[in-house]
Structure 1
Amino acid sequence: MERGWLHGEGFLFCLILHLLLQGSADIFTINCSGFDQHGVDPAAFQAVFDRKAFRPVINYSIPTQVNISFTLSAILEVDAQLQLMTSFLWLNLIWYNPFIRWNPKECGGISKLSIATENLWLPDIFINEFMDVDQTPTGLMAYVTSEGHTRYDKPMKVTSICNLDIFYFPFDEQNCTLSFTSFLYTVETMVLGLEKDVQEISNISQNLIQNKGEWILLDIRQTMMKMAVDDSYYDQITFYVAIRRRPFLYVINLLVPSGFLIAIDALSFFLPPESENRAPFKMTLLLGYNVFLLMMNDLLPDTGTPLISVYFALCLSLMVFSLLETVFITYLLHLVTIQPPPMPRWLYSLLLHCTSPRERYLTAPQKGNKGLRLTPIQLPGLKEPMELVGKVPGPQEAELNGCPESTRGQQEDEAQKQHLVSLWVQFSYMMDTLLFRLYLLFMATSITTIIVLWST
């Protein structure tokens, strides 16, 4: 009798244990019968909705894995002064909720449903570089599958801080970062992963980007790290967004007009140095260049010193130096027609060194020349130019002497004076030639630099 009672008690214990185990296996399975005929019954998900305040896990020692991906669909603005990049992206978050499961066979083949996000637990993923108020629209939906996987797609207008280097403007490339992390859950409670390969994220963003404006998306790379805050560690995924500026607008509006003005200023060297129209022409160009810089100032970055600003400063300096050189030569040519100053010995040696061998031998002055274009003559016993000025006897002195040689001496002194004038004229032409070659070198260097920066 006792043995039978023990046998019956063991059987009852096994039956109860079986029922409990069977119930525990189906305790989180949603009864979806009738969904295909009467629609989704909210009461079937009420137990899930009641748990939205808690992290959806059965064992709290196991962290929730959230997989992240995004699609960069537009680069709206890059502010060099505030060091900000404004972009539009779709953020994709996927995680597992063990409390949402159903059998698709019992629900007419329904394997995926959309549920309002206000009824679900959402991971608190944010961007570290975010510098604005989150303007994500409310009332978004999330997709849940019959296996318990939840997918949340979130459109975001992101204004993020970005360390911009504008030295190579407008041929600059920038590398901005987007760091995704949680501000509440540490690595013990939440880990982050990639829902897509980073190369796939980059390719999809390049193909779907809608803004064809100033910036081009080059590439997206990523790194995973743990961010330490006090004694806690947080999982973090950092994406590096490489973008490049389209320089065509700035080349047309800035570099081409500046290059034209410099080229016209270089062509002004073909005007004779003694021309009265050369200085006013250069002054007009200089004034026009200053007006051009004032009008184009809005296109230049407000902060930093880009390379194009250095180029404009060099162009302006060359034009100012060219105008000063023209004024100096005009004054010098006017002075030598009245009384040519003595030429320093070092300048005379430099002039002889810079001129060609043919021009070193001076020929006789041509008839009809008036002092500006006289070619000097090589006379026997010619002294150094700096010893000539102030030793020429005047006509009255020659008449008082009454010597037959006075006329010949006066002619020699006049020839030496014309020789000195011709030396100063050659010096003015040498200065023009050197400055013109400097213009050509600057223009060639500028064009080469633009081509190299644009092609790379």
Structure 2
Amino acid sequence: MTRPLPLLILLNYLFYFCDCGSLSASQTVEQTLITSLLTSYNKNIRPDTTVSIDITAALQQIVAIDEKQQTMTTSSFISQTWVDSRLSWTPSSNGNIDVVMLPVTSLWIPDTMILNSADSSGYLTISTYSLASVESTGQVYMILPALTVKTRCNFNVQYFPFDKQVCSISLTSWSQGSSRLVYTENSTAVIDISGYTEHPLWKLNGTDMVVIRSADRTPFEDTYNDVITIQLYLQRKPLYFIMNGIFACWILNCVTLLSYTLPFGSQIGLCMTCFMTYSVYSLNFSNLFPQQSQYLMMITLYFLLSICWTLISMIWFVICNHFISKAEMPKFLYIFAGLLQKKVFLFCFPPPKDDKKKDVIVNNDELKKSEDKESIQATIIQEKKCASCQKLLPSYFRWNTKVITIEKKEQPSLVKDDTLTKINNHYFTLVDKPELVTMDKTNEKLKPKCDFCDRCETCQADFDKDKAKGKNKKDIEGRCSALNYFVFLIILLFIVVAELSVWVLMANN
């Protein structure tokens, strides 16, 4: 019982004789002022019959823009100012205090909400630790810190990636019309962008704030609502999409043009590769935007034109290969290709040079070259394979060599009818005498039945047919080459004109 007595004496000393925990004079005055202001204050009652509210905004950053979902997320400070006469006082009577800070949850605040909000709750978020500054005149200034606002925005991406957008943040009272709340525009501070952080893909060209009127949502009042609209003028930065879309597609167009210099199989393979690459690029860009049928995007038109050039090139490669393989061509196209070959692309098809064949003279089993055009000519017909004749006379084709000797004035010498003939120091038995064909100065030649065996007319007919077909095929190849140059120039012209037109339309929207 004796121990608690000193403790009680100490406590009495601290409470009655010490000044521990007491407020200063200025703090006591402020506490008294705040208590008097909030004692009879009811936050559920409006300050006046009609309350005028000023709204200002400080844009900090455009966090994200989703064209597919048609939304814009921004971070900003939104402040509201109004006058509440119940919170006014005389500074001289209250220690010359002009401003006090009061918790927002203890005051009447307007039910301002974001009209085009994309969140579940469009009301401005007010936390329990938010404060409002109240002046002696009763003016209340409430600022909401770093609000992340997600709003709907109607994007028109027809001229992507050179498009310009206007996105807005609309603020208004949800439940009270113009007879109770009037929103006004602060002429001194519209939108503060001094602390704005630039978006990597969007450029902010300007801002604006306007007040528009809309129909009142309350069914018992025939009034209107004032809507504060904060407008943001945005322009897309096109460099990223130009380098990863338009320029890459232009390179593929050049690759399509280069395929005209390749063989048929390589042409088709290269064009198919370009088709697949176009599809990948088109799919990547289509995933960025919503599905719509209101307009045709210029970038989509650009990809479609590029695919068309590749498709036209593939069709032409197939047609050209068909002409060459069949050695046939429509008459009008054949004539047109001939004109191109002779008149337009003459530098690509030089006239063939005349091959001066050197004559051969046979003299004592030796071959000599002759430079005299009027000298005696001799030809040696080499042995060719003829299936039908070779079965009949195999020994004839093995050893028989036909030599035609024509002299200018002398008669051709006859081959002796010997059983054995010496040719190149070897003896061979002649099965049949070679037929001697003479040619006079008038170049009159007796045409043999067959160039191979002088016996088979069918073999000669097939040979002439194949020879004529070969000549025709070479002619068709030349004319197809001229048409190939012509189609190449036409495709190049269309690519330059069409794609430049699309670029100009996109850039000058």
**TM-score, length of structure 2 as denominator length:** 0.63
1:151 aligns with 2:132: no
Equivalent residue, structure 2, for 1:46: 38
Name the CA shift for 1:175/1:422 in 2 (closer, same or farther; >3 Å). same
Please report how far the alpha carbon of residue 172 of structure 1 lies from its aligned counterpart in structure 2 after TM superposition.
1.5
Among 305, 315, 320, which residue is 1:324 paired with? 315
Among 419, 439, 442, which residue is 2:492 paired with? 439
Name the CA shift for 1:275/1:365 in 2 (closer, same or farther; >3 Å). farther
Alignment of 1:31-430 (within 5 A): 34-36=25-27, 39-41=30-32, 42-47=34-39, 50-57=41-48, 60=49, 63-132=50-119, 133=121, 134=123, 136-139=125-128, 140-155=130-145, 156-197=147-188, 200-202=189-191, 204-205=192-193, 207-229=194-216, 231-269=222-260, 271=261, 277-293=266-282, 296-297=284-285, 300-304=288-292, 305-336=296-327, 341=328, 343-345=330-332, 347-348=333-334, 350-351=336-337, 357=343, 366=353, 418=471, 422=475, 425-430=478-483
**Alignment partners' CA distance in 1, 2:300 and 2:264:** 33
Name the CA shift for 1:439/1:358 in 2 (closer, same or farther; >3 Å). closer
Name the CA shift for 1:364/1:170 in 2 (closer, same or farther; >3 Å). closer
Name the CA shift for 1:448/1:321 in 2 (closer, same or farther; >3 Å). closer
Please report how far the alpha carbon of residue 223 of structure 1 lies from its aligned counterpart in structure 2 after TM superposition.
3.3
Task: Note if contact 2:113-2:173 (Cα within 8 Å) is conserved in structure 1.
Answer: yes
Name the CA shift for 1:224/1:281 in 2 (closer, same or farther; >3 Å). closer
Equivalent residue, structure 2, for 1:402: none
Deviation track 1:380-400 (CA, whole Å, cap 9, x = no partner) reads xxxxxxxxxxxxxxx97999x
Q: Secondary structure at the match of 1:208?
A: coil
Please report how far the alpha carbon of residue 321 of structure 1 lies from its aligned counterpart in structure 2 after TM superposition.
2.3
Task: Note if contact 1:80-1:303 (Cα within 8 Å) is conserved in structure 2.
Answer: no
**Alignment partners' CA distance in 2, 1:342 and 1:44:** 105
Please report how far the alpha carbon of residue 217 of structure 1 lies from its aligned counterpart in structure 2 after TM superposition.
1.9
Task: Note if contact 1:34-1:107 (Cα within 8 Å) is conserved in structure 2.
Answer: no
Task: Note if contact 1:53-1:121 (Cα within 8 Å) is conserved in structure 2.
Answer: yes
**Alignment partners' CA distance in 1, 2:36 and 2:314:** 88
Q: Which amino acid in 1 is paired with 2:272?
A: M
Q: Which amino acid in 2 is paired with 1:286?
A: F
Q: Secondary structure at the match of 2:250?
A: helix
Please report how far the alpha carbon of residue 264 of structure 1 lies from its aligned counterpart in structure 2 after TM superposition.
1.9
Please report how far the alpha carbon of residue 288 of structure 1 lies from its aligned counterpart in structure 2 after TM superposition.
4.2
Name the CA shift for 1:226/1:195 in 2 (closer, same or farther; >3 Å). same
Equivalent residue, structure 2, for 1:22: none
**Alignment partners' CA distance in 2, 1:97 and 1:431:** 85
Q: Secondary structure at the match of 2:73?
A: strand
**Alignment partners' CA distance in 1, 2:344 and 2:226:** 81
Task: Note if contact 1:36-1:108 (Cα within 8 Å) is conserved in structure 2.
Answer: no
Name the CA shift for 1:355/1:313 in 2 (closer, same or farther; >3 Å). same
Please report how far the alpha carbon of residue 165 of structure 1 lies from its aligned counterpart in structure 2 after TM superposition.
0.8
CA RMSD for the aligned pairs? 3.9
**Alignment partners' CA distance in 1, 2:47 and 2:84:** 5
Deviation track 1:44-103 (CA, whole Å, cap 9, x = no partner) reads 22245x22111112xx3xx21111121222222222233222222221111111112233
Please report how far the alpha carbon of residue 118 of structure 1 lies from its aligned counterpart in structure 2 after TM superposition.
0.7
Q: Secondary structure at the match of 1:237?
A: strand
Please report how far the alpha carbon of residue 259 of structure 1 lies from its aligned counterpart in structure 2 after TM superposition.
1.9
Q: Secondary structure at the match of 1:52?
A: coil
Deviation track 1:212-255 (CA, whole Å, cap 9, x = no partner) reads 23222222234333322362222223333221222222222222
**Alignment partners' CA distance in 2, 1:225 and 1:298:** 35
**Alignment partners' CA distance in 1, 2:249 and 2:345:** 37
Please report how far the alpha carbon of residue 143 of structure 1 lies from its aligned counterpart in structure 2 after TM superposition.
1.0
Structure 1 unmatched ranges of 5 or more:
1-32, 369-394, 400-406
**Alignment partners' CA distance in 2, 1:455 and 1:179:** 30
Q: Secondary structure at the match of 1:254?
A: helix
**Alignment partners' CA distance in 2, 1:245 and 1:286:** 28
Name the CA shift for 1:113/1:455 in 2 (closer, same or farther; >3 Å). farther
Equivalent residue, structure 1, for 2:372: none
**Alignment partners' CA distance in 2, 1:221 and 1:150:** 24
Q: Secondary structure at the match of 1:282?
A: helix
Q: Secondary structure at the match of 2:170?
A: strand
Task: Note if contact 2:278-2:303 (Cα within 8 Å) is conserved in structure 1.
Answer: no
Name the CA shift for 1:46/1:221 in 2 (closer, same or farther; >3 Å). closer
Q: Secondary structure at the match of 2:304?
A: helix
**Alignment partners' CA distance in 1, 2:345 and 2:471:** 16
Higher helix residue share? 1
Name the CA shift for 1:164/1:147 in 2 (closer, same or farther; >3 Å). same
Please report how far the alpha carbon of residue 110 of structure 1 lies from its aligned counterpart in structure 2 after TM superposition.
2.9
Please report how far the alpha carbon of residue 109 of structure 1 lies from its aligned counterpart in structure 2 after TM superposition.
4.1
Task: Note if contact 1:68-1:94 (Cα within 8 Å) is conserved in structure 2.
Answer: yes
Name the CA shift for 1:227/1:292 in 2 (closer, same or farther; >3 Å). closer
Q: Secondary structure at the match of 1:40?
A: helix
Task: Please tell me whether Structure 1 or Structure 2 has the larger radius of gyration of its CA atoms.
Answer: 2
